Structure 1
Amino acid sequence: MSERRIGIVMNGVTGRMGLRQHLERSIVAIREQGGIQAADGTMIIPDPILVGRNELKLRRIAETYGLSRWTTDVAEALAEPDVEIYFDSQLTQLREKGVRAAVEAGKAIYCEKPIADSLEAAVDLARLVRDSGLKNGVVQDKLSLPGLRKLKRLVDGGFFGKILSVRGEFGYWVFEGDWQEAQRPSWNYKSEEGGGIIVDMFCHWRYVLDQIFGEVKSVYCQGATHLPARWDEQGNEYAATADDAAYGVFELEGGIVAQLNSSWTTRVFRDELVEFQVDGTEGSAVAGLRNCRVQHRSATPKPVWNPDIPATENFREQWATVPDNETFDNGFKVQWEMFLRHIVDDAPWSWDFVEGVKGVQLAELGLQSWREGRKLEVPALDLGAK
């Protein structure tokens, strides 16, 4: 069987997301399974070149995963003759420079979100990429989660009837770093370094809401920095200048109201780290990362409010589990495989830089809403003529 090896410049693999989700669980996993099959039967084999700022970390990562190519020089990596794709999972402030270099080198581009640290910069990048004619994509991993894929299946099948509302809870307690090590890097809590949960999660919520339930039409956001002091990786105390919690209300197309809470300062009392409850005229569903449960109108019980006696019903037992009906793979890996087929076979791909701009737009509007204490409309994007 013939092979097609595709060189991929992977910039930012020394970071947690770039290393674990994109390199280890996606690209290395695809290589270990022998690649993925193209339409003509050819096996597509990704061949990564690791790029980062720390030479020692790069060498260790390459040795761990049996890879031979790494460099601290992006231009050197982009100049390799077999390179077809540039991937970026750096800090957001560094992303624009990398993407522009990839465009100049004529490479397809796939990158993490946010695609830029401001809406203006994101629009400029999207225009640049669009006008270059290069294939491009932005990671939208939540859409490939088993729980949300089951939820999308319910929406597409008409299970809910008219959808009325969506309620989402995301988050967990991120330790401050003094008496227990923090699970997230310190830059997440520094606005001057691109941190903040609104910038992080509103980019996710935009594509989840838009592509599963309906286009976002307005946003009201209340942010908070609940923990003003944290400790960094060297054990030094620092002032947390970025928001660590966000409480958002979104109006969607069709009159759907979505309420989404995002927090790194909450302790988990739910089945999964993120859960969405969708209520409709014909039924409701609760979906997490992997599982999804439903309650149809015909099976809805009739509770009566009586605070004077203990609850006599086990409400969780009144819901049915949605079956898998398919084998679910890692969401990041699924999207990598789709993007590789897009490159080789021109297979359908809808998550381009314009979708990335929408996420940055909603994050900026969320921050503005918080500052001004008011609901804001989400205007249509204008990227200008090609």
Structure 2
Amino acid sequence: MDSQVLGIAMNGVTGRMGYRQHLLRSILAIREDGGVALPDGTRVVPEPLLVGRSERKLRELADRHGLDRWTTDLDGALSDPSVSVYFDAQVTSAREAALRAAITAGKHVYVEKPTADSLAAAIDLARLARDAGVKNGVVQDKLFLPGLIKLRRLVDSGFFGRVLSVRGEFGYWVFEGDWQSAQRPSWNYRSEDGGGIVVDMFPHWQYLLENIFAPVRRVSATAVTHLDRRWDDGVPYTATADDAAYGVFELEGGVIAQINSSWCVRVNRDELVEFQVDGTEGSAVAGLRHCRAQHRSTTPKAVWDPDVADGGGYREQWLEVPDNGEMDNGFRAQWELFIRHVCADEPFGHDLLSGARGVQLAEAGLESSATGRRIDITEIVL
């Protein structure tokens, strides 16, 4: 079978998510399986060029996986004619300049979110890519999670009837770093370095709500810093970024979504993120992998009586929604779509414009928190 090599400069894959999800479980896994199949029968085999600031980390990573292409010279990587795609998983503050350079160099770009520090910059990047004629995409991995794929299947089938509300709970306790090491890097908790749970998670909520239900038209949010002192390698620092946010999102068509996001919550749910959707005909609860549903016809009669012990058993009255098919790693699934977009011009809806809408919701959420007002979300026009 004919094959072609697609050179991808991967910047930021020495970080935990960039390494585990994008390099190890996506690009290297795709390569080991013989590449991505195109409609004409050929296969595209991705060839990574590792890019980063630390020569030691890059060399160790390359040696671990038998890779011989790595560099600390971003400009050199972007001038390499064997590289067609630039991928960015750096800290947000470094992303905009690198993306501009990649687009100017004529590379297709695929990027983690948020795409930029500000809405103005995110829109400008989308315009720059459009005018340069390069393919562009933004990682929107949660759309490809098994639990949310099953939830979307229920929505598309009309299971819910008229959707009334969405309630989401996301988060876990991130250790402060004093007596136990933190699970997230310290820059996440410094606003001056681009940290904060609003800029991190609201772009996720934007594309999930828009793609599964309807676009967000108004937001009201409260962002707080619950823990203002954390430690990095035993050194204390002041946490200046929000570590929890409580948002109400009004969707087109009247659906109300409430989503709590927190790195200061101890988990008492089945998965680290869960969404409950209630509709006139049925309800469902979806997480990363699982989805349970309860139809109107099987909804038990609940009666509030504080004087009588509640028999409980509510969870057992819901039915598991089956997979009904193979569901691959969400990051890999989207990588394969983007590679087919680049090499076969197949449609890809998760572009820099959609990424800008995520930045827009984050900015609106922070504005709402600062002013105490509900903020309207207007349509972005390039």
Please tell me the TM-score bracket, short chain as reference.
over 0.9
Compute the displacement of 1:310 (Å). Answer: 1.6
Alignment-derived partner of residue 209 in structure 2: 209
1:339 aligned partner, one-letter code: F
Q: Could you say what secondary structure the match of 2:165 adopts?
A: strand
Moved more, 158-167 or 28-37: 28-37
Hey, what's the Cα distance between the residues in 2 that align with 1:144 and 1:346? 21
Hey, what's the Cα distance between the residues in 2 that align with 1:191 and 1:368? 15
Compute the displacement of 1:309 (Å). Answer: 1.9
Alignment-derived partner of residue 296 in structure 1: 295
Q: Could you say what secondary structure the match of 1:173 adopts?
A: coil
Hey, what's the Cα distance between the residues in 2 that align with 1:303 and 1:123? 49
In structure 2, the gaps of 5 or more residues are: none
Hey, what's the Cα distance between the residues in 1 that align with 2:37 and 2:211? 27
Runs of 4 or more above 6 Å deviation: none
Q: How does 1:155-166 map to 2 (within 5 A)?
A: 155-166=155-166
Hey, what's the Cα distance between the residues in 2 that align with 1:247 and 1:146? 25
2:124 aligned partner, one-letter code: D
Moved more, 353-362 or 307-316: 307-316
CA deviation map 1:140-160 (0-9, x unaligned): 000000000000000000000
Identity across matched positions, percent: 65
Compute the displacement of 1:307 (Å). Answer: 1.1
1:189 paired to 2:189: yes
Alignment-derived partner of residue 332 in structure 1: 331
Q: Could you say what secondary structure the match of 2:253 adopts?
A: helix
1:12 aligned partner, one-letter code: G
Alignment-derived partner of residue 170 in structure 1: 170
Alignment-derived partner of residue 120 in structure 1: 120
Hey, what's the Cα distance between the residues in 1 that align with 2:106 and 2:182? 39
Compute the displacement of 1:79 (Å). Answer: 2.0
Alignment-derived partner of residue 107 in structure 1: 107
Alignment-derived partner of residue 249 in structure 2: 250
Alignment-derived partner of residue 369 in structure 1: 368
1:351 paired to 2:350: yes
Hey, what's the Cα distance between the residues in 2 that align with 1:375 and 1:361? 14
1:274 paired to 2:283: no
Alignment-derived partner of residue 378 in structure 2: 379
Compute the displacement of 1:58 (Å). Answer: 0.2
CA deviation map 1:219-262 (0-9, x unaligned): 00011100010001x21000000000000000001100000000
1:37 paired to 2:33: no
Moved more, 48-57 or 30-39: 30-39
Moved more, 184-193 or 343-352: 343-352
Hey, what's the Cα distance between the residues in 2 that align with 1:357 and 1:313? 44
Compute the displacement of 1:34 (Å). Answer: 1.5
CA deviation map 1:320-376 (0-9, x unaligned): 110000111110000000000111111111111000000000000000000001111
Compute the displacement of 1:206 (Å). Answer: 0.3
Hey, what's the Cα distance between the residues in 2 that align with 1:150 and 1:188? 31
TM-score, L = length of structure 1: 0.98
Q: Could you say what secondary structure the match of 1:159 adopts?
A: coil
Compute the displacement of 1:77 (Å). Answer: 1.1
Alignment-derived partner of residue 261 in structure 1: 260
Hey, what's the Cα distance between the residues in 2 that align with 1:235 and 1:333? 36
Hey, what's the Cα distance between the residues in 1 that align with 2:74 and 2:328? 31
How many aligned residue pairs are there?
Answer: 382
Q: Could you say what secondary structure the match of 2:25 adopts?
A: helix
Alignment-derived partner of residue 20 in structure 2: 20
TM-score, L = length of structure 2: 0.99
Alignment-derived partner of residue 310 in structure 2: 311
2:325 aligned partner, one-letter code: E
Compute the displacement of 1:313 (Å). Answer: 3.3
Hey, what's the Cα distance between the residues in 2 that align with 1:140 and 1:186? 24
1:169 aligned partner, one-letter code: E
Compute the displacement of 1:382 (Å). Answer: 2.8
Alignment-derived partner of residue 237 in structure 1: 236
CA deviation map 1:173-231 (0-9, x unaligned): 00000000000000000000000000000010000001101110100001110001000
